[in-house]
Amino acid sequence: MPLTEEGQVMVRGLVMGPGTDFIVAYFNPWIRNASASYTGSNPYQDGAWSGPEFLDPAQITLIVHPVGGSPAGWWSLHTQLLQAFRPIRTETTEPEIHWRSGGKDFMMYARPRALSPEVKNLYTGDVTTSCSLEALDPSMYSGGENGLHSVELSPYATSGGLAAPLSAPLSIFTAVAEGRGTLTNAGIDATSLMIRIDGPVVQPRFLLVGPDGAVQTFWIDIELLADQWLEIDTGNESIVFNGVMPRLDALRGALPLLAPGESTIEFRSASDGGDATAHISWRDRW
């Protein structure tokens, strides 16, 4: 269910806030705390910094008031909270929390940590519940239905002339058919790219030109048949073959992050890519 109104919050598909049976009394995903690593030269001297510092995991507080009207009505709504704030257990993906603020949808990856209803007025159904979540990654990402951006490319091809070397500047490339896309990160921090490559393709390779003109290239030393695929996460530095087999060993070069601003990416192959495709997705990051 998508967010439709300002002030709505969604956890695992449960939408709370305006237009729902859950009143959001308090929600604060904005708090950030930096921790010192206590490394570097002379970290404990007077007037000295402690060395590199990073953000702690973000603690998110959400207080909701289910509009139950009776014990039975409250229980019916509370079971939805139980489902949304259940532990991870065997899930393989991080839960997402989405919210709309200032007309913009945001998202964080956050795990439920507490669900605490104040039941002193249970017999009237007037119960307020305190919820907490923890985000190991304290970054905020573009959320909502349009928060996950994507492009799909077929391998680079030329419409005349010789293709330039993979490391050459874009300005000397010949005309491109299908193989080039524009990626825009509207945030302030570099964000990861999720890339799925479907064969057939030999040594799929990519060239990413950042907003400052810096060129990053990488390729995978592998041949994919028509029914095979690779999934690449440049942030977590993972490459998985056919959904089960790690193949980071086949990486040549370094997996890049998408810098803030507008970048250009090209998808190439060591031979005719045929029907191969590369689906690239990402989120803006703050």
The letter for the amino acid at 24 is V
Tell how far CA 285 is from the center of its chain: 8
Residue 158 has pLDDT above 60, yes or no: no
Tens-digit pLDDT profile for residues 52-100: 788 899 999 999 999 988 999 999 999 999 999 999 988 888 899 999 9
Round the CA-based radius of gyration of the chain to a whole number and report it. 24
- φ, ψ for residue 196, nearest 5 deg: -115, 125
DSSP assigned state of 235: T
Average confidence (pLDDT) over 236-246:
95
Query: What pLDDT sits at residue 256?
Result: 97
Alpha carbons 223 and 229: distance in angstroms, whole number = 10
How does DSSP assign 117-171, residue by residue? Answer: EEGGGGGGT--EEEEEEEESS---EE-STTSSEEEEEPPP-BSSSPPPPTTS-GG
Beta bridge mates, 111: 134
Query: What pLDDT sits at residue 42?
Result: 63
For the whole model, what pTM was predicted? 0.83
Strands laid side by side in the 194-198 sheet: 149-153, 277-282, 194-198, 229-233, 238-241, 245-246
Q: Which residue has the higher pLDDT, 190 or 36?
A: 190
- Which of 220, 222, 217 minimizes the C-alpha distance to 166? 217
Alpha carbons 140 and 286: distance in angstroms, whole number = 5
- Which of 213, 198, 205, 216 minimizes the C-alpha distance to 257? 216
* Tokens describing residue 40: 């570097």
Q: Where in the chain is the domain with CATH 2.60.120.860?
A: 149-282
Tens-digit pLDDT profile for residues 140-152: 999 988 899 999 9
Alpha carbons 235 and 255: distance in angstroms, whole number = 8
Domain 9-142 fold: Elongation Factor Tu (Ef-tu); domain 3 (2.40.30)
Residue 171 has pLDDT above 50, yes or no: no
Query: What pLDDT sits at residue 240?
Result: 97
Tens-digit pLDDT profile for residues 89-130: 888 888 999 999 999 999 999 999 999 999 888 877 789 999
Residue pair 57/134 in contact by the 8 Å Cβ criterion? yes
Do you find a cis peptide bond into 200, omega within 30 degrees of 0?
yes
Q: Where in the chain is the domain with CATH 2.40.30.200?
A: 9-142
Average confidence (pLDDT) over 266-286:
89
Query: What pLDDT sits at residue 166?
Result: 43
Q: Which residue has the higher pLDDT, 43 or 33?
A: 33
The CATH code belonging to domain 149-282 is: 2.60.120.860
Average confidence (pLDDT) over 275-284:
94
